[in-house]
Amino acid sequence: MNVTKLKRDLKVTGRQAVRLLKRLTTLPQSRQPSAEVPSPNSIAAITWFHRIDLGGGTVTPGVEDTPAKLPTFGIPEHLDGLSVLDIGAWDGFFSFEAERRGARRVLATDHFCWGGGGWGTQAGFDLARRILGSKVEDKRVDVLDLSPETVGVFDLVFFFGVLYHMRHPLLALERVASVTKEQLILETHLDMLDCDRPAMAFYPGSEIAQDSTNWCGPNPPMVEAMLKTVGFRKVIIHSGPNYFVPYSPRMVFHAWK
């Protein structure tokens, strides 16, 4: 596409054509889908958490309406030239979204789900990546094993729906901070919202949703305090509390080094 062609096809002036061409070239680039068409059986054979649009009218039957939640995260519309790390990627919705928004490199990591620790596996991620023709990389690594040596350092890090599954949340955030170069976007379950001081509930059993993998529920001051303790200089609440499910208030934090 060039200025002369735009002028001819759209009947605009040279200056208008230049402006239009500049806008078109800065829009997020769509992924090129693969030639493979997913069969209903291949999709049905996987237990999905995320709802991912695979193209051609096919959307994975995830238990979470991920696209509906997406606006609450505040992910920049343009990620051109940035490297992105998606911790706890599961089916990879946010990894593929970062790629769609122009990220230079995206690494999806998981350990618990991909390792068969729960009811999820890596099968959904692998199938979606193949169908989407995605170049998102993957690495099976535990949160507490994250370091510049194991995964590198990334401009933007996603840490969605993972913190409250950590038995050692402050240590987990130390590991996350070590691989964050500029910005972290964190989404988590909250508790103790009526307390103004940094505080956190501890769940030794299955108190939340009958799920023994839920270990803690920090309140907003606690999340902010922990993030600043591990080295983030600025922390803001981007959205929340969001009540996508009644028993689990959620909040999104943005933090910068």
Query: pLDDT for 180-210, tens place per residue?
Result: 999 999 999 999 999 999 999 999 999 988 8
Domains defined for the chain, CATH in brackets:
70-256 (3.40.50.150)
H/E run at residue 200: strand 200-202
What per-residue confidence (pLDDT) applies to 14? 52
Nearest to 120 by CA among 160, 196, 63, 41: 63
According to DSSP, residue 29 is labeled P
What per-residue confidence (pLDDT) applies to 31? 52
- The residues facing 59 across adjacent strands are 53
- The residues facing 187 across adjacent strands are 160, 252
Question: 69 by DSSP, 3-state: which?
Answer: helix
* Both structure tokens of 74: 């505040």
Nearest to 72 by CA among 42, 100, 99, 94: 94
Nearest to 99 by CA among 113, 81, 126: 81
* Both structure tokens of 76: 């920049």
pTM (two decimals): 0.86
Query: pLDDT for 118-142, tens place per residue?
Result: 788 999 999 999 999 999 999 999 9
Nearest to 99 by CA among 125, 137, 73: 137
